[in-house]
């Protein structure tokens, strides 16, 4: 059974890979054998994490990329094509949040959230799918959210973007199934990441109180960890999910139950 989880010889690409869920997933995919390329807009943090993980013996490479920029995404695809010739796993994970209603939200904030969380999935998929298709297929995992499946307070742009990711996933699964490309969506609940902690500041709530309140009503009564989500991504990336496509995996401690 352990062979199903092995990704030896695979090339994996993880966006938003310098912190949080992206970093935990890049680490896990590398631990099971993948050559993992982390993409992030934060060059300093990305290089720092690359050095740390490589010192631990993992096959990690950092490439600076703004997923909202078409030229950046094309350049990444060109670089990976020239160096590796293929992509087997793409984890479209980059995202940001602005905790505001539509009335309070600036247009620039709306655009930023939609561009990073939704347009970024489109752009990187557009340019990396050919590398996947030409090598016989692969697995794409997009990061949605529990708030992509139900509404949430003071997060209008985020809810809209993540709902878009959920349905974009289904459309991509239909379009690319014949190319042996599986496309699935993972929907985390509140997970202890810099993004979640940043929400406390946006809402002007004391951080520890905000984190406690985010966990208290869940059946498992705790926040998720980045590693919790990474394990779900590994399932969707691996051969254990070989007949799974177009679906949504909710990993939220029972928050939507």
Residues 6+ apart with CB under 8 A from 82: none
- Summarised one tens digit per residue, pLDDT across range 160-211 is 999 999 999 999 999 999 999 999 999 999 999 999 999 999 999 999 999 9
Contact 26, 53 (CB under 8 A): yes
Q: Please give the pLDDT value at position 17.
A: 98
Q: Which residue among the candidates 122, 127, 135, 158 is catalytic per the annotation?
A: 158
DSSP labels, the chain: -HHHH--TT-EEEEETTTSHHHHHHHHHHHHTT-EEEEEES-HHHHHHHHHHHHHTT--EEEEE--TT-HHHHHHHHHHHHHHTS--SEEEE---------TTT--HHHHHHHHIIIIIHHHHHHHHHHHHHHTTT-EEEEEE--GGGTS--TT-HHHHHHHHHHHHHHHHHHHHHGGGTEEEEEEEE-SBSSHHHHHHHHHHT--HHHHHHHHHTTSTT-S-B-HHHHHHHHHHHHSGGGTT--S-EEEESTTTT-
Distance CA 214, CA 251 (A): 14
How many CA atoms does the CB half-sphere of 128 hold within 13 Å?
32
Known catalytic membership, residue 122: no
Helix axes 107-114, 156-176, angle to 10 degrees: 30
Instruction: Give the pLDDT confidence score for residue 157 in this predicted structure.
Output: 98
The series of mean pLDDT values per 10 residues for the chain, 257 residues long, is 89 98 98 98 98 98 98 98 97 98 98 98 98 97 98 97 98 98 98 96 96 92 97 97 98 96
* pLDDT number for residue 216: 87
pLDDT at 2: 78
Q: Which domains does the chain have, with CATH numbers?
A: 9-191+227-250 (3.40.50.720)
At 80 the pLDDT is 98
């Amino acid at each position: 059974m352990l062979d199903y989880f092995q990704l030896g010889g695979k090339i994996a690409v993880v966006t938003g890979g310098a912190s949080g869920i992206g970093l935990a997933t890049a680490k896990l995919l590398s631990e099971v054998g993948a050559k993992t390329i982390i993409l992030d807009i934060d060059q300093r943090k990305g290089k720092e994490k690359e050095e740390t993980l490589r010192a631990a013996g993992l096959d990690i490479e950092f490439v600076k990329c703004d997923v909202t920029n078409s030229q950046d995404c094309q350049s990444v695809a060109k670089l990976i094509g020239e160096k590796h010739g293929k992509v087997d796993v793409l984890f479209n994970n980059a995202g940001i949040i602005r905790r505001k209603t539509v009335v309070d939200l600036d247009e620039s904030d709306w655009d930023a959230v939609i561009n990073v969380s939704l347009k970024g999935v489109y752009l990187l998929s557009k340019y990396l799918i050919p590398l996947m298709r030409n090598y016989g297929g692969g697995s794409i995992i997009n990061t949605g959210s529990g708030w992509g499946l139900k509404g949430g307070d003071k997060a209008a742009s985020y809810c809209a973007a993540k709902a878009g990711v959920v349905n974009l996933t289904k459309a991509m699964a239909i379009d690319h199934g014949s190319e042996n490309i599986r496309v699935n969506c993972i929907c985390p609940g509140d997970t202890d990441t810099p993004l979640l902690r940043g929400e406390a500041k946006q809402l002007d709530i004391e951080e520890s109180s905000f984190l406690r309140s985010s966990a208290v009503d869940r059946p498992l009564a705790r926040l998720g960890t980045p590693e919790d989500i990474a394990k779900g991504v590994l399932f969707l990336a691996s051969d254990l999910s070989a007949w799974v496509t177009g679906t949504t995996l909710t990993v939220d401690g029972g928050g939507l139950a």
